[in-house]
Amino acid sequence: MNHGNTKVCSDRVPDEQEISELRAVHYNAAVVGRIDIHDDLARFQIRPDRGVPRFAPGQYVALGLGYWERRLPGTQAETLPAKKHWRMVRRAYSISCPLVDASEALVTCDDIDFLEFYVTLIRTAEEPPALTPRLFALHPGDRLFVQPRVVGTYTLEGIAPHENVLLLGTGTGEAPHNAMAAALLKQGHQGRIAVACCARLADDLGYTRAHDVLMNRYANYRYLPYTTREPRNLDSSRGDYVGNERLQTVYRSGRLESEAGFAIDPRTTHVFLCGNPLMIGLRRGSDPPLLEPGMLQLLLSDGFREEGEAGPGLVRYEKYW
């Protein structure tokens, strides 16, 4: 089989010249910026060669790198058959948004000439992770593949200007909510907007400063950062002890509603969920039953719905399977 002018061989790995040819054939974008939150978390800014395709805030696209690329040192080793070194690995990522520019002005995805992705480095897993150890070895100027067409139905369709919007995420599940929140603010949305994100540690919340800027500027906007592994989550002897701040916990306690600043009411509120499937309340067919309800189950019990026409009371969530 030929990939462009490069002949794929099943009995050996490609040499440097062949790797250069494989990149030329398969890659269609370049890294133009990289913001490292810490060693295992980064924001990648990527510009497709043909320009940024049109898309709706909340949608996602696949990124890809060849198995021929080097892996970041310190990540799990992998053993591949020679023929796999000629192929690419791809994974879908929701498109994020910087939220503000260098002058702290509001920025939407339509205002920039790159796609931003919020990515966690997976160092080890049951099967050696394939994409992120290669992605985290990239720097501005390096090349990769971006799926030409952005896809997904997780969008802001059906939200009226006066209705409230609650965007709940865990970890990098915040990414599409950044794009959505920026778009709503740019449109002059009149209802309340609350973005809540739960992570293990405060250092895992990579957009906090930008959210703070927006909260100071827009009276109808709230950013609610929660954690599960900070000392104030674990040590009950501390004066600032708050316990575990999982989204299900702060919702059931009434704290989420209080800090959002509006009633989480199916008659007036749209809810979006993205991130850990256990937070959402999702399971694959072969997974064991949920040990406790996720946000979906909690919201449904309070009168929200997961199907039907777009409008207040609808719970939308992202899943990639």
Q: Is the residue at 115 inside a domain?
A: yes
Predicted pLDDT of residue 3: 54
Same domain, 276 and 186: yes
Same domain, 235 and 130: no
Q: Is the residue at 157 inside a domain?
A: no
Asked which of 94, 115, 146 is the last residue of a domain, the reply is 146
**In the chain, what is the straight-line distance between the N-terminal and C-terminal CA atoms, in Å?**
30
Same domain, 312 and 179: yes
Same domain, 312 and 168: yes
CATH at residue 43: 2.40.30.10
Q: Is the residue at 156 inside a domain?
A: no
Question: In angstroms, what CA-CA distances link 295 with 53, 135, 252, 261, 268?
Answer: 32, 31, 10, 19, 18
Evaluated on CA atoms 131, 134, 140, 145, the torsion sign reads negative
Query: pLDDT tens for residues 294-316?
Result: 999 999 999 999 998 889 999 99
pLDDT in tens, the chain (321 residues): 455 556 667 789 999 999 999 999 999 999 999 999 999 999 999 999 999 999 999 999 999 999 999 999 999 999 999 999 999 999 999 999 999 999 999 999 999 999 999 999 999 999 999 999 999 999 999 999 999 999 999 999 999 999 999 999 999 999 999 999 999 999 999 999 999 999 999 999 999 999 999 999 999 999 999 999 999 999 999 999 999 999 999 999 999 999 999 999 999 999 999 999 999 999 877 788 888 999 999 999 999 999 988 899 999 997 655
Predicted pLDDT of residue 283: 84
Same domain, 32 and 68: yes
Asked which of 146, 178, 204 is the last residue of a domain, the reply is 146
Q: Is the residue at 151 inside a domain?
A: no
Same domain, 133 and 187: no
The total of structural domains in the chain comes to 2
Contact residues for 25 (Cβ-Cβ < 8 A; gap 6+) = 3, 4, 5, 6
CATH at residue 230: 3.40.50.80
Asked which of 97, 117, 146 is the last residue of a domain, the reply is 146
Same domain, 113 and 243: no
- AA identity, residue 80: L
Q: Is the residue at 197 inside a domain?
A: yes
Same domain, 72 and 132: yes
State the alpha helices, DSSP H only, in the chain.
Answer: 16-26, 132-135, 175-186, 208-217, 231-234, 247-252, 255-260, 277-280, 295-301
Domain that holds residue 84: 2-146
Predicted pLDDT of residue 1: 43
Q: Is the residue at 39 inside a domain?
A: yes
Same domain, 118 and 225: no
Same domain, 312 and 171: yes
Predicted pLDDT of residue 11: 83
Same domain, 178 and 278: yes
Q: Is the residue at 64 inside a domain?
A: yes
Same domain, 258 and 169: yes
Closest CA to 86 of 61, 59, 65: 65
Q: Is the residue at 279 inside a domain?
A: yes
